[in-house]
Amino acid sequence: MKGFINRIIENSFIDGPGNRMAIFMQGCNMACLYCHNPETQRMCTRCGKCLEVCETGALSIEEGKIKYNKKKCIGCDRCLEGCLNFSSPKYFEIESDELVKLILDNEMFLDGITFSGGECTLQTDFIVDVVKKVKKNSSLTAFIDTNGFIKEEDLNKLISCVDGFMFDVKAVNDDIHRTLTGVSNEVIFKNLKILAKTELLYEVRYVLVEGYNDNIEEIKGLSELLKELNDYTRLVLIPFRPFGVKTHLKNMLPFNREKYDIIYEEIYKILKERVIKKD
């Protein structure tokens, strides 16, 4: 089975417990205003715009497909900026067996693997295939980094084979969620509740965006909900950073630190050690 991958980071300390290989899948079902990796959102439409801006000849069209020559690429990322479709000429197709081999070759260095994106669960069957093969041959754990907008059928498949979810909640208020992401959060909260009742909801991530989702009462509400749902899921409060944002909110300032600390203190009262502070 084949999967579409934007890139693989062999050594990541920030995508779950321990040292992990992070696999960023191509394609997303949201379009967040502050997306930090907009080039992972959509599949290539072969419009050829990226060819026009590439100065080193690393890109070409062969048989109607964009070909990317890694050796010629200098990493200037002009192709990503020039892409009108929130995609990338650099993502690639990989056979699950090939990915499994790369993972198992480095097994001794790893605690596990993490699928991220884009929205990795759009390629659930590929993930399940890889995870089953990896688990058959190693004791590595598999984590899913998701926006929570998952089809019921896919969620069930994943629950049956992975070890943890890192689950984004973009906003508690549905209108704000729609504004920030383009979709309703109804399914997301439904999935959050399902996962919270398993042992797999490793953490919930909440990016604080000034003027959008930083209403303290709403974040308190989310914290109360997590407290009620189970006794283990961590809540990671992440201050917005403009770094990497190329679209609507690219000119927004980093989230105010004083405000962040106040929110953290309030949430700490509810969740104690379960709330995680980020720089």
Taking CB under 8 A as the rule, does residue 18 contact another protein? Answer: yes
Nearer to another protein, 158 or 204 (CB): 204
- Tell the smallest beta-carbon distance from residue 47 to another protein (Å): 27
Judged by DSSP in three states, 95 sits in strand
Tell me whether residue 109 or residue 232 sits nearer to another protein (CB atom).
Answer: 109
For residue 266, what is the enclosing H or E element? helix 257-271
Task: Return the biggest CA–CA distance within the chain.
Answer: 60
20 touches another protein by CB under 8 A: yes
* Residue 108 sits in the site that holds another protein (CB under 8 A): yes
Interface residue with another protein, options 19, 173, 215, 247 (CB under 8 A): 19
Give the number of residues in contact with another protein, rule: CB under 8 A.
16
List binders of another protein among 143-162 (CB under 8 A).
none
Q: Alpha-carbon distance 118 to 227, whole Å?
A: 29
Strand order in 201-208's β-sheet? 92-95, 2-12, 20-25, 112-116, 141-146, 164-168, 201-208, 234-239, 275-277
End-to-end CA distance of the chain: 39
Q: Of 59-67, 91-99, 100-108, 120-128, which segment contacts another protein by CB under 8 A?
A: 100-108
Which region among 14-22, 39-47, 190-198, 226-234 touches another protein (by CB under 8 A)? 14-22
Characterize the bridge pairing of strands 92-95 and 2-12: antiparallel
Kindly write out the interface string for residues 173-202 of this chain, putting x where it contacts another protein by CB under 8 A and - elsewhere.
Answer: ------------------------------
Tell me if the bond preceding 118 is cis, omega within 30° of 0. yes
Q: Does 109 bind another protein (CB under 8 A)?
A: yes
Which member of 85, 106, 215, 230 binds another protein (CB under 8 A)?
Answer: 106
The CA-atom distances, in angstroms, between 270 and each of 34, 108, 222, 232, 277 are 28, 39, 10, 13, 14
Q: Which stretch binds another protein (CB under 8 A): 44-52, 105-113, 232-240, 260-268?
A: 105-113
- Determine, following the binding rule CB under 8 A, whether residue 14 of this chain makes contact with another protein: yes
Residue 101 is a binding residue for another protein (CB under 8 A): no
Distance CA(43)–CA(59), nearest Å, equals 16
Span of 18-26, 48-56, 169-177, 214-222 interacting with another protein by CB under 8 A: 18-26
Query: Which residues contact another protein by CB under 8 A?
Result: 9-14, 17-20, 105-106, 108-111
